[in-house]
Amino acid sequence: MSSPQPIALAFPDIDLLLSQFTKNIANHTTLISLCGAGGKTSTLFWLAEYFYKQGKRVLITTTTRMFLPTPSHYRELILEADPVRQLTRCQQLPDGPALVALFSHIDQASGKVAGPTPQQVDLLKGQQRFDLILVEADGAHHKLLKVPALHEPCIPQSSDWVIALTGGAMIGAKADPQQIHRWEQLQAMCGIAAGDPLDWPLFHRLITHPLGMFKGTPSKARRIWFINGDYQNETAWQPQLINLLARHPELHAIWQGAVREPQAIRHAFGHFSLDEAPPPQS
């Protein structure tokens, strides 16, 4: 395989872009963990539906808490607290394409569900009953930017990919403690005050810092930074994003887009090897 090259793709072919997650699907369950802020749940549902329509067997869950998905986001729901029974229920599923939501229990007062622990997700992956497991591994209280606390995020150690999200509206904005989850942690990490700009050097530090946006990512996992909800800065940020990618060879890719839009990913900047890069758009 040739060495990775930084490549920028405008309006990438989604099939080609996402095929990297299923390259070894014949003998390997791909585990994707999502962390950060600004659209984790929407991204999880988008990826799950995409791969289900591709004929894959997909499991969605959380290692924290999330609102119980509506039935439109799954085809089978498993609510089971016992880890052994979780494995058994998954093993008993019929063959063929599947979109399964698995949670330990539901809090009737809040409507939120709790999922298995990261260690239990590792066991589910080892069962190799699914082609992909998608895990919401972080919480952000509906904010667009966060820095994890000591107990966050809850990323399974067998994760193959970690996608860290940031709301696009935060880039270049003035720091507003009301819009940032774990404001105190961000202050301590970056020496920032309310009203200071959330500029590119700050995001460079959040990517670099071991307690930043990729905190807890297994060393073998590939990393993607997804700037979500970015409607108006598709080309203006390109030089900064290419520069940022060049400074961070540990990043496999930076995605730029809006997952709720028909064209979810509008730009991708990646360290692709020449034999796996999607061809240029004509």
**pLDDT of the chain, 282 residues: tens digit per residue:** 444 567 888 889 999 999 999 986 666 899 999 999 999 999 999 999 999 999 999 999 999 999 999 999 999 999 999 999 999 999 999 999 999 999 999 988 888 999 999 999 999 999 999 999 999 999 888 899 999 998 999 999 999 999 999 999 999 999 999 999 999 999 999 999 999 999 999 999 999 999 999 999 999 999 999 999 977 777 889 899 999 999 999 999 999 999 999 999 999 999 765 455 555 544
CATH class of 4-273: alpha beta
Is 43 within 8 Å of 173 (Cβ atoms)? no
Interval 218-234: pLDDT, tens: 999 999 999 999 777 77
What residues contact 185, with CB distance under 8 A and at least 6 apart?
Answer: 147, 148, 149, 211
Q: What is the pLDDT of residues 129-178, one digit of tens each?
A: 999 999 999 988 889 999 999 899 999 999 999 999 999 999 999 999 99
Indicate the residue type of 17.
L
Are residues 183 and 195 in contact, defined by beta-carbon separation less than 8 angstroms? no
Kindly write down the DSSP assignment for every residue of 166-216, as one continuous string: EEGGGTTSBP-GGGEETHHHHHHHH---TT-B--HHHHHHHHHSTTSTTTT
Parse the chain into domains and list their residue ranges.
4-273
Considering the entire predicted model, what is its pTM?
A: 0.93
